Structure formats: C-alpha cells, structure tokens
Structure 1
Amino acid sequence: MSETVKLGVVPLIDCAIPVVAHEMGFAAEEGLALDLVREASWAAVRDKLAFGLLDAAHLLAPLSLAMTAGLGGTPAVPVVAPMALGLGGNGITVSTALFERMKEAAPEVMAGPRGQSARALGKVIEADRAAGRPRLSFASVFPFSSHTYELRLWLADAGIDPDRDVNLGIIAPARMAESLHMGWIDGYCVGEPWNLRAVQRGVGVVVAAKADIWPNAPEKVLGVREDWAAERPDTTAALVRALVRAAQWADAAENRPALAAILADMRYVGVSPKILEPALSGRPVLRPDAPAEALDRHIFYRWQATYPWPSRAIWLLDRMVEAGQAALSAADATALARRVFRDDLYAAAVESLGVPVPEADVTVIGTHDAPRDVPARGGGTVTIGPDLQLGRRTFYPFGRDAASEAT
C-alpha cells in the first residue's frame, strides 16, 4: 500500500521535479502517493510546513536555513534538505519604461554583458536623485531567497546600495508581471515563467539572468521537517529516489516539450506552453521583438543539480549576514549548513540508483568559468558546472574571513 506524502509546490518552472515524480509514476514506483498542493506564496509554504499541514515542500533553499535558525521573527522549526531541486531559472526584469531610460542613460552598457546592466540603472538613479524624484522600487519573492541575494548582488556590483538607493519589497511570484504592469514596482527578480510572462505581455524586459550573476547557483530544495525525516527514514529515502529519477527525466532535452505540457496544467504553473517551452528549451526571448537567446536556464539533474552542497548553504548564510538578516559566526554558519543540507541522506538514498556523488561536500565557489570534473565517492569523477560569479567574487566556505576578491 502506498504512503501518502503531501508536498507543497509554488507555480514556477522549477516545481517540475515533484510534478514529474507524480505525473510520470516515479513516486508510485517508490511506494509513494504524492499529494501535490499548489501554494500561492512562500510564506504559505513556510507556515504549512512548520505546522505539519504539509509533509514536504518545493522550498526556497535559504528559507530552509532561516526556518531552522528561527530567523525573520518566526519560531525555529528545524528543516532538512535531503536534496536540491535543480539549478538556475531566475531573472531580473524591469519595466519597459525603465529599460528605455537605462538604454538612453548608458547605451554602451546595455549593449554589453547582461550582468553589468545595473550600471545603466545607476545612471538613472543618479538622474532621479538630482531631480528629486522618488526612489525606484524592486521586488523579490521572499526575504530569505536566492532572488533577494541575486538582486542585491546585481545592484551592488554597479555601486548601488540595495538598502539606501532603491526600495526593496516582497511580492508572490505569480503577481510580479501584474505588479509591474500596474506600476507598483519598477523591476523584480523571480523564477520563470514570470519574467517571460512580462516580456510576452509587453510590459517588461529581462535585463539579467541568474547565469549572469552566479551560474549554476542553488535555487530550491526538497524541504521536510527534521523530526519528520527522523521518524520516516525509509519514506524520506524513497521520496529522494523518486525525485532524483524525475530530475533525470526532466533534464533530458527530448522530454522538454512534454514537460511544458505537464506544467501548463492549472494545478501546477498554469500558463501557456508557448511561454514555458522557450524557457525549457534554452531559447527564450528576453526582450520584445528581439531574437531568442541561447541560455541554459533550467538544469534539473546535470552538474550535480540534485546534490545538496553544504558549501552552497554556507554561501547563502553569508549573504544573509551581508544583508543584515542574521548574525552568525563562521563556525555557527558551517554547523547550520551541515544540519540542514543533508548530503548524507542524499548519498544513502541514491546509492541503489547508482547515482554518483562528489567525494568532497565543500568546494571553493567562484573560480571556474567552464564545467569541471571532481572526484566521486568510491572512485571515478562527477562533473559540476561553471560558477564564476558577477564581479569575479571568490568565496571560501570555510569561514567568511577567508573570502576574497578574485584577481
């Protein structure tokens, strides 16, 4: 008899792995009945997971850490992430009006690398300040999210103070394009399809992608309460196996059209496959009337996309400290990262699938501009993707004091 697992998802392309596990029968083959629950916001996912209304969730990676540490004014609810749910997928979109102002202010910048587009925004902000205009407003999906940290990094790289030079707010992913259209915000950072939705409606332009800020960076994880995982080790392992098999299916190029059709269902993302397919095929149109661009935005399995790297959790915690959201020593951050990002649970669960895992669970971040092979446990190698960050920042996850700028 199958065991039912109630799993919350937010309408984004990167909810694909649990959706595929259910729709393609991988969960059933592992003895699980996935009850997928569509949630509108990350706050709802957090609260329902904390109170046991959900057994598991498609969860923001930083939120798993924040819940465990009791950050953000909520009681601590220990969460573990026994696997990651892919890499990439975010973008930064601005209104068409702001895009035109950025082009006018610094056409040479806007013709250059996308990651540096905030330098044109800086010129607009300077002009607004001189004219006494109000600050521009940007949104991310949740305070503890990769979106928040990517938006802050994009701004800071151009010398824009995220806390003083712009207003930063929070909006649910599916409301971003509408909020931009209504003029409530001037730009946002969100996962797909909500950047491409703004482009399709003619109200926004994608000026940077996650790959321009930190390629192959962590995004979502499978989040379960720590006590739930401890009480149900076999169920947790079966869930990881089902999701890893789903990730392998979703990552195959030949399956992307079928994946777009599945996600288009109103139970999941609920937008036209015409928007989903370009994002999943790696040929999205980022600007109205512009040609499609080659951009590998959604990686579900390649490059150890499902492995929960503790070093990436430490990087996320460092961004929380940088944003004033947490006060953690290097030792505390390392301990918290290892408590939440449970690569031991992942390795044990996927052993029967023959899935290789890295020998070392901590790597220096920001030093490679191409894929590379690293040793695997038990021999052989695994391939991980490029990780060269905007501004050529290098992060040593053995403590913040060791972090330095790359030369």
Structure 2
Amino acid sequence: MQTVRIGFMPLIDCAVIAVACERGLAERRGFRLVPSREPSWAAIRDHVAFGMLEAAHMLAPMPAAMTLGLGGPQIPMIAPLSLGRGGNAITVSEPLYAAMEAVDPAALTGPRALSARALARLVAERRGAARMRFAAVFPFSCHYYELRLWLAAGGVNPDRDVELVVIPPPRMVENLASGLVDGFCVGEPWNQHAVTQGLGRIVATKADIAPEAPEKVLGLRRLWSLENADIVTRLTEALVEAAAWADSHPAAVADLLAKEAWVGVPASLLLPCLEGTPRFGPQASLTPFPGYQGFCDGPTNVPRQEQVEWLIGQMILCGQCRDTAGETIRRIFTPV
C-alpha cells in the first residue's frame, strides 16, 4: 500500500486532513495517509520542496510562490483542492484596543472592515514614537494580504506606519502576551485563544475584509502529481469526503482536533468557530456568525476562478510578482 506523507499546521482548517486520517478514508481507497504536524509554514514549504512530504495543508499563495521561486527554491506546484474557507481574524492586544477605543470609539462600533480608523488616529498621535508591530503567519499568505488591506482601509500605511513581522500560528498568543506584537492576523483557534485568556480582542475577520479570498489548499509538487496521478485522484476524493463530513459534524471535529496530535487545545475553544459563534472579546457573548469557518466550497472543492484572480491581484499589489505571472498562477489552481 503506497504511503502519502501529508504536512499540516495546528489550525482548525487542518480538520479535513485529520478526518481523512482518523476515519480511514485513504485506506478505503487503497493508500496510506501519514500526517506530519509541522512547526511553521516555512517548514512545510521546505519539506514539500525537498521531498520529505508528498502533500501538504498550504496557505493558498504558497504553491504560487513556490512555483515562481519566491522566498525559496523554485518548485512547480499544483493546488487542485480547497481545504478550508474563512477562519482568519485580526486580533489586537487589550492595551491597544483600549487606546483605540479612547481615541475613536465610533470606529470600533461601526463596520469591522474600517476599525483600523482608530489605529490611524493613534499612529498620528504617536508620530515619532516606536512603530506598533503586527504579525502575519507568512509573507505569502492571505493573512498578510488581509492585514495590509485592513490597515490601508483605515488610513494606516502598512509599509510606513507600522512594522509587519512573521510568526507561526501557534506562537502568536505568547508573543501578544509578552508585548512583542501589538496585534496579529491568524487562523483559528488562535484568535479565540487570545480572547478567552483576556489578552486581546478581534477587530475584524476575513469575511469583513476579503470575503472572496481563498484560504487553505492542498499543495502537491507538479512532478510528483504527474508520476502518481491515480493516487492524487484518490487523495482528492478522500479529502472531499472528509470536508463534507467535517462541515456536518462540528462537535465531533472539535473533539478530534482537541487531541495533541492535531491542534491540542480544548474542544470548547474549537467548537464556537465550527458552529459559527466565535467570541470577539473576553466579556463578549458568543456572536452568531454563519460560515465563520468551513470546509466545503462547492461539490468538488476546486479553488474558484474569482479566488485565484483575487490572489493574483494581491501578490501584484504587494510587489511579490509581476502581472505577467498571472497565467502561470492560474495553471496551478486547476482540478486533477
């Protein structure tokens, strides 16, 4: 029985991989799926690039960056499947939230996409002081693009007014607690973790900033996928089945992801995200938010064309690639 090693990060949207592994969906299709919990997105990129993993849970821009040779070796990739939608949020520290509320309370009660207007007021007041520091999970991530879009919508220049750094998702909360960052954009459950510990508040979500944006995908080396076309077909079938099951069994998924081998946080932290009732602040009630986190995206989970176009636009806007790279990127996100 052929083995496929698949890397993942401890996030709620690794659920599709977790369900496929724990429910034996690969074995039913004649191959073995072996999960590998990874410490960072850079580790996933490198382990896929150098053949230590055959497949991986990836940020949607990662296969494009790898194919173009951005930030690492140039490795042609494909991303035939979406593994998750939603789940990202921007969380700021409690001291920063209090300062934003003091200078512009209306900005924090209006549309969340414009809540950075309060931050812009602070930046103006603190001109000449040390810049505030915000983290995203990887330079080639929708988190990075969404954080920049949120800042810019509020009148904050993301290149001049603040400092942007990269921190792996599981390390976000400890860096917020220590004061090394003032806020971050990360996938769940790490926003909920900061909120329930009284360390921060969610000021905007992916749905507020870029509802059309993709999120996580299945990343495969193009050469490996051509040499193992039958396995790739069976792998995608298993993951599509897992996505449908995960969307319809939120409590079971929460219990599964609570295991140390997967995400390793209490199920009580995971379930509100899966049920669409996240908490935005330490004293806030659970907020009805249908579709906050999900796994199915159409019957085949193939990344949609509008998602790919959004991604290309953001990579160009951030100066990560030229507009001539568009056609190369489009070919990455095609069904097998």
1:191 aligns with 2:187: yes
1:48 aligns with 2:47: yes
Match in the other structure for 1:380:
none
Mapping for residues 145-294 of structure 1, pairs under 5 Å? 145-215=141-211, 217-252=213-248, 255-294=249-288
Match in the other structure for 1:25:
24
Instruction: Find the residue that maps to 1:167 and give its secondary structure.
Output: strand
Match in the other structure for 1:297:
292
Q: 1:141-196 CA deviation, whole Å, 9 max, x = no partner?
A: 00000000000010111121110010000000000010000000000000000101
Q: 1:294-332 CA deviation, whole Å, 9 max, x = no partner?
A: 112112114468222244223212211211222232xx3
The alignment's TM-score, normalised by the length of structure 2, stands at: 0.97
CA contact 1:314–1:337 (8 Å) conserved in 2: no
Deviation at 1:237, TM superposition (A): 0.2
CA contact 1:250–1:259 (8 Å) conserved in 2: yes
The residue type paired with residue 8 of structure 1 is G
CA distance in 2, matches of 1:125, 1:234: 55
Match in the other structure for 1:342:
334
CA distance in 2, matches of 1:196, 1:304: 29
CA contact 1:310–1:337 (8 Å) conserved in 2: no
CA contact 2:63–2:219 (8 Å) conserved in 1: yes
Aligned in 2, Cα 1:281/1:272: closer, same or farther, shift over 3 Å? same
Larger-Rg structure? 1
Mapping for residues 356-395 of structure 1, pairs under 5 Å? none
CA distance in 1, matches of 2:86, 2:299: 13
Match in the other structure for 1:316:
311
Instruction: Find the residue that maps to 1:91 and give its secondary structure.
Output: strand
CA distance in 2, matches of 1:215, 1:317: 15
Which structure is richer in relative contact order (CA contacts within 8 A, separation 6 or more)? 2
Instruction: Work out which of the residue numbers 71, 74, 80 in structure 2 matches 1:82.
Output: 80
Aligned in 2, Cα 1:218/1:304: closer, same or farther, shift over 3 Å? farther
- Aligned-pair RMSD on alpha carbons? 1.2
CA contact 1:86–1:219 (8 Å) conserved in 2: yes
Deviation at 1:114, TM superposition (A): 1.4
Instruction: Find the residue that maps to 2:286 and give its secondary structure.
Output: coil
Instruction: Find the residue that maps to 1:26 and give its secondary structure.
Output: coil
CA distance in 1, matches of 2:229, 2:322: 32
Match in the other structure for 1:382:
none
Instruction: Work out which of the residue numbers 90, 99, 102 in structure 1 matches 2:100.
Output: 102
Instruction: Find the residue that maps to 1:121 and give its secondary structure.
Output: helix
The alignment's TM-score, normalised by the length of structure 1, stands at: 0.80
Q: Which moved more, 1:227-236 or 1:296-305?
A: 296-305
Match in the other structure for 1:4:
3
Aligned in 2, Cα 1:220/1:121: closer, same or farther, shift over 3 Å? same
Aligned in 2, Cα 1:180/1:23: closer, same or farther, shift over 3 Å? same
CA distance in 2, matches of 1:112, 1:179: 28
Q: 1:252-299 CA deviation, whole Å, 9 max, x = no partner?
A: 1xx101100000111110111110111111111110111111112112
CA distance in 2, matches of 1:167, 1:230: 42
The residue type paired with residue 283 of structure 1 is T
Q: 1:78-98 CA deviation, whole Å, 9 max, x = no partner?
A: 110111112111000000000
Instruction: Find the residue that maps to 1:87 and give its secondary structure.
Output: strand
CA contact 1:86–1:305 (8 Å) conserved in 2: no
CA distance in 1, matches of 2:306, 2:285: 37
Aligned in 2, Cα 1:305/1:191: closer, same or farther, shift over 3 Å? farther
Aligned in 2, Cα 1:216/1:304: closer, same or farther, shift over 3 Å? farther
Instruction: Work out which of the residue numbers 106, 110, 113 in structure 2 matches 1:112.
Output: 110
CA contact 1:150–1:213 (8 Å) conserved in 2: yes
Aligned in 2, Cα 1:88/1:250: closer, same or farther, shift over 3 Å? same
Gaps of 5+ in 2: none
1:306 aligns with 2:301: yes
CA distance in 1, matches of 2:22, 2:227: 27
Match in the other structure for 1:137:
133
CA distance in 2, matches of 1:323, 1:301: 29
Match in the other structure for 2:126:
128
The residue type paired with residue 57 of structure 1 is A
CA contact 1:88–1:216 (8 Å) conserved in 2: no
